[in-house]
Chains A and B, each alone.
Chain A
Amino acid sequence: MIRRSWRSLAPGAGLGVALLLLAQSLGGGAAASSGTTFTMAYQSDVPTLSPVNGGGYESSQASAPLYDGLVTYAPTLQPKIVPDLATSWKVEDGGRVYVFTLRKGVRYSNGDAFQPADVIYNIEQQLIPGNASWAESFYEGIAGASAFAAGKAKTVSGLKVTGPNTLQITLTQPEGYFLSILAMPTSYIADPKVEQKWGKAYQDHAVGTGPYELVSWTHNSQLVEKVNPYYWGPKPKIAEIKFILGPSPTTIYDMFVKGEVDALSPVPSNLVVPTQNNRALSGEFHTVADTGSLEYYFMDVHTGPFKSVLVRQAMNLAVNRMRLVQLQAGQATPANQYLPPGYPGYQPGLPPIAYNPAKARALLKQAGYPHGFSVTLSVNNDPGVVQRAQSVIANLAAIGVKVTLDSMSLSAYDTALSEGKIHFGVIDWGMDYPDPQDIMQSSLTGTPGTGDMAGWNNAKFISLMNRADAMAPTQDALRYKLYDQAQAIALAQAPWIPLFYPNTTILISNALSPSPGKRANLGYYLNPVLPISIQDLSMR
């Protein structure tokens, strides 16, 4: 559902992976080490600590230690929803009603007592238009939410406190993924008293029920958190978390080498080789494949030459995907389908997409473009994206397609995308939840601007997707067959040029013991929506 850029996905997945392994290998009871600080660094300031506008990578990594939601994901290899502030729940009325039993005796980090009504307050904050929350639509499945958001009701009818610590949520219709929404960072519970007291300045005084509390935040400099004395769960072993805000990626890397930063992901492509060659960093560099990510270019099937399926296929044949992998120091796999490995439903048997400029030229000629054509490629200004775009542009020039590159800042790019202004652009997809429905439904159906950037709108594809979506999880085998068929159609019609599945590269200090390399089976943590749970780690 959510299309993410690298910065919001890959680090989370990658770090989540390795640190998950650490957590597991710690098993039970390593001695608590007081005075330990876990330091990370970001290129820019944390945008917000408020759940209302949270959800981006840098926000959620800094917010996660401060808050709890009703539920969360367990740090296990298979994503599993587990209790957080809700100790148990019952699903009734065919999936329309959820009754949550809430944990007793929970306190916020400032000592205030947590009440069930606080959950209602936080969800309402998501719905109020003046708060400009991007996630507002996620909560509209709750009965009465739309009326509340439109100002027609004072409360949300579907949210009810039914006991001293029970909460009932009623939906307008069953939603299989509703619990996933409650596990998202936008569903964190913040102390309503503090939010009301500070209003717009709340985030500099953020208070939640999580394992850590906010100590200080100097913008564009650093953000510090320490263990929350009132936390209801097991006391975290790392005493303090520090986020250094503002250095460039190369500087962050240098800081890691100097030992000033403890974890870093992703490792910039051009620094992978020096990392691998640097003996001082041995055992600290890890790379994880199959994280459910894909970088692709979409083509607006309603504009100019892209109207012809032959042209779109030609574009696919013209790109040298191995070169793109080479540019990333081998830390990627060429893409041959839209569903990345890591998603259930990925088809391992499919053949690679050939690199065949001659055939591409022939297809163009057949389509009526013997001399090629001109087009503009829009990208965000991430250096890796721009570099790879230049490689693709050179490939396309070789078949006669003259490309003008238009690069802009990430936010400007996102805005232009959402306004449907981009007709040939890049998307870095990251998994929201491990189901084929995630990428296929949200990015290949719908309207340009909110989902289907290519405007492809293929009836057969949509009907297959809808049939598959409506099936119950028990019919997975059949459901995946439908997705296979849908994907075959998509590949043949080629609204996208899938480029590669990137690995996630991580550098983790050996002080975070024991080293993940010593683990026998290096698996992966498939939850890009949630960041690393630092509360499960320990440091030397």
Chain B
Amino acid sequence: MQVAPASPDAPLGTAAASETGRGGRAWRRFLATGVGPAGAAAVLLTLLMAVLAPQIAPYNPLTQFQNGLHLNGVPFAPQWHGPFILGTDDLGRDVLSRIIWGARVSMEVGIGATAINVGLGVLLGLFAATSGPVVENAVMRFTDMMMAFPFYLFVLLLVAVVGHTSTWTVILVLGVLGWPAIVRMVRGQAVVIRELDYVASARASGATRARLMLRHVLPNVLPTVLVYGSLTVSSNIMAESGLSFLGVGVPVTQPSWGGMVAEGLVNFQTAPWILIFPGIALAIACIGFNLVAEALADVLNRSVG
């Protein structure tokens, strides 16, 4: 396995232009990594849960069953043969159904926020790299400033300003706060690429910036963006769960893994299953995306430093 330099700002190991053309070989290499397919399977499982939730969940995740609690209010423990396979939560709702539906929130936020991160990040990074030094410096300084803002504080503040949360506000908030890292990475790569001979000659012959960005720089930056994208999905899923845990994530009426963990922590001594299963679901989803990122990095010869 080739080891490339670890820093996103450091130069690339090998010329990038040819990699994307070798789709078939890349795919086979992906499969050969072992972890790649495993991760992809986990990701696929989560996606399927999210998309097919209405079909595969045994119950409506919001239904608070009359007989979902013992007479003294204690939730039901998991029973393989019972009506509630993974038990019920403190309001008498089916845990399994909530885990399946919870994948929706995690996927929506994870992928949605990452899309914004990557979109904004790539745009800004390319813009910076293909502009004059003054603009580039200004953009990078602004990025630094954004990175200096402590993440959770910023989120909490934004939520306080907005007043109340919905899935969209969470996606927006995470999307807006996450782009600085991508900008740095994209710009770092783009800086190197623009110095390559053929790109320099394209510039010299008067190619417009848009053309430069789209035809020359972007395709070469994409592989790294893919790797980072996968990692970012994982960290956004984790961040959303953290926010729900703190009570500022998606509204409490929507099943989300982070919210379930928060609820489970309070009830750990009476109903530990409420805590354990969503934690496992979160771990599987995040591991999945991280493994995919690893494998992609291997295959595309990029590092994940």
* Chain A residue nearest to B262 in the complex (CB): A383
- A167 nearest CB across to chain B (Å): 47
Mark A323-351 against chain B: 1 for CB-CB distance below 8 A, else 0.
Answer: 10011111000000000000000000000
> Does A391 lie at the interface of the complex (its beta carbon under 8 Å from any beta carbon of B)?
yes
Contact of B247 among A271, A330, A407 (CB under 8 A): A407
A residues within 8 A CB of B163?
A: 406
Q: Is there contact, CB below 8 Å, between A390 and B252?
A: yes
Contact of B270 among A270, A330, A381 (CB under 8 A): A270
Encode contact with A along B62-106: 1 for CB under 8 Å, 0 otherwise.
111010010111100000000000000011000000000000000
CB of B267 closer than 8 Å to a CB of A = yes
| A393 within 8 Å of B (CB atoms) | yes
Per the 8 Å Cβ criterion, residues 156-173 of B in contact with A are 163-164
Contact between B266 and A405 (Cβ–Cβ < 8 Å)? no
Residue tally, chain B, CB below 8 Å to A: 24
* CB–CB B73/A329 < 8 A: yes
Asked if B72 and A250 make an inter-chain contact with CB atoms under 8 angstroms apart, the answer reads no
Does A274 reach chain B (CB closer than 8 Å)? yes
Complex contacts, A272 vs chain B, CB 8 Å: 72-73
Chain A interface residue count, CB cutoff 8 Å, equals 27
Interchain CB contact under 8 A, A270 and B266: yes
Determine the chain A residues whose CB is within 8 A of the CB of B74 once the complex forms. 273, 329
Contact across chains for A329 and B72 when beta carbons are under 8 A apart: yes
B8-28 Cβ-contact flags toward A at 8 Å (1 or 0): 000000000000000000000
Q: Does B268 make an interface contact (CB < 8 A)?
A: yes
A491 partner residues in chain B, CB cutoff 8 A: none
Alpha-carbon distance A391/B89, docked complex (angstroms): 12
Instruction: Say yes or no for B253: interface residue by CB 8 A criterion.
Output: yes
A407 to B250, CA, bound (A): 12
Query: In the bound complex, how far is the Cα of B64 from the Cα of A408, in angstroms?
Result: 23
Q: Is A394 an interface residue (CB 8 A)?
A: yes
Do B73 and A326 have beta carbons less than 8 Å apart? yes
Instruction: Give the CA-CA distance A387 to B247 in the complex, in Å.
Output: 13
B55 at the interface (CB under 8 A from A): no
A180 interfacial by beta-carbon distance below 8 Å: no
Asked if A533 lies at the interface with its beta carbon under 8 angstroms from chain B, I say: no
Task: Please name all residues of chain B whose beta carbon is closer than 8 Å to the beta carbon of A327 when the two chains form the complex.
Answer: 69, 73, 90-91
Q: Which residue of B lies closest to A326 (CB)?
A: B73
A248-276 vs B, Cβ < 8 Å mask (1 yes, 0 no): 00100000000000000000111111100
* Nearest A-chain residue to B269, judged by Cβ: A274
Which residues of chain B are near A329, meaning CB under 8 Å?
Answer: 72-74
Q: Which residues of A contact B268 (CB under 8 A)?
A: 250
Secondary structure of the B contact surface, majority rule:
loop
Docked CA distance A382–B169 (Å): 23
**When chains A and B are docked, how far (Å) is the Cα of A373 from the Cα of B232?**
40
A residues less than 8 Å from B72 (CB atoms): 272-273, 326, 329-330
For the complex formed, measure the closest distance between the CB of A138 and the CB atoms of chain B, giving whole angstroms: 32
Q: Could you tell me which residues of chain B, from 40 to 72, have a CB within 8 Å of some CB in chain A?
A: 62-64, 66, 69, 71-72
Asked whether B73 lies within 8 Å of A250 as measured between CB atoms, the reply is no
A253 to chain B: closest residue by CB: B269
Q: Judge whether A407 and B252 touch: CB under 8 Å.
A: yes
- Chain A residues within 8 Å of B270, by CB: 270-271, 273-274
CB of B251 within 8 Å of the partner chain: yes
Instruction: Let me know if A462 is at the binding interface, CB within 8 A.
Output: no
Q: How far is the CA of A330 from the CA of B71 in the complex (A)?
A: 9
Nearest B residue (CB) for A268 = B266
Q: How far is the CB of B268 from chain A (nearest CB, A)?
A: 7
Contact A383 B266 (CB under 8 A): yes
**Contact A390 B73, beta carbon cutoff 8 Å:** no
A386 within 8 A of B: yes
- Give the distance in Å from the alpha carbon of A394 to the alpha carbon of B63 in the complex: 8
Residues of A within 8 A of B266 (CB): 250, 268, 270, 383
Does A391 contact B64, Cβ atoms closer than 8 Å? yes
Please report the C-alpha to C-alpha distance between residue A272 and residue B72 in the assembled complex, in whole angstroms: 9
A390 near B267: Cβ-Cβ < 8 Å:
no
**Distance in Å: Cβ of A10 to nearest Cβ of chain B:** 18
**Which one, A269, A381, A393, contacts B253 given CB within 8 A?**
A393
Name 13 A/B residue pairs within 8 A (Cβ), A-sorted. Answer: A270-B266, A270-B269, A272-B72, A273-B74, A323-B66, A328-B73, A329-B72, A383-B266, A387-B91, A391-B64, A404-B251, A405-B252, A406-B163
Q: Which 4 pairs of residues, A with B, have the shortest CB-CB distance?
A: A329-B73, A394-B64, A406-B164, A270-B267
